[in-house]
Amino acid sequence: MVVNKELPQCPVATTVGVIGNKWKLLILRNLLTGSKRFTDLLNGIENISKKVLTENLRSLEDDGIINRKTYADEIPMKVEYSLSEMGQTLNPIFEVLTDWGNNYKEFVKNVSDQ
């Protein structure tokens, strides 16, 4: 479900508003490899609390970036999260972030070695 809201005129501000906090980026990073259950996401993101994970998952779902699938016929009820079609379009952004992060790590290492 996408919540109808007024978006900033600037596309960068829009992007930052949707995916721009630390936790959302890490949730999305983990979902790039496929569907995950809540516990998988909780265990895969260091120092995130259940409350913060829940809030960010709801926000990403409201924005149409992730899908939440419930298997009500299972006990306990199973819930899986995955990237929506729109969420999957974030993959190139994460590739660039990964490349930049690796380059920056190398830069810091080279500066420290001097």
Domains of the chain: 11-113 (1.10.10.10)
Any alpha helices (H) in the chain, and if so which ranges? 11-19, 22-31, 38-44, 50-62, 85-88, 91-113
| Predicted model pTM | 0.87
Mean pLDDT of 78-99: 96
- Using one digit for the tens of pLDDT, what is the confidence trace for 16-39? 989 989 999 999 999 999 999 999
Query: Six-digit token pair at 34?
Result: 């496929």
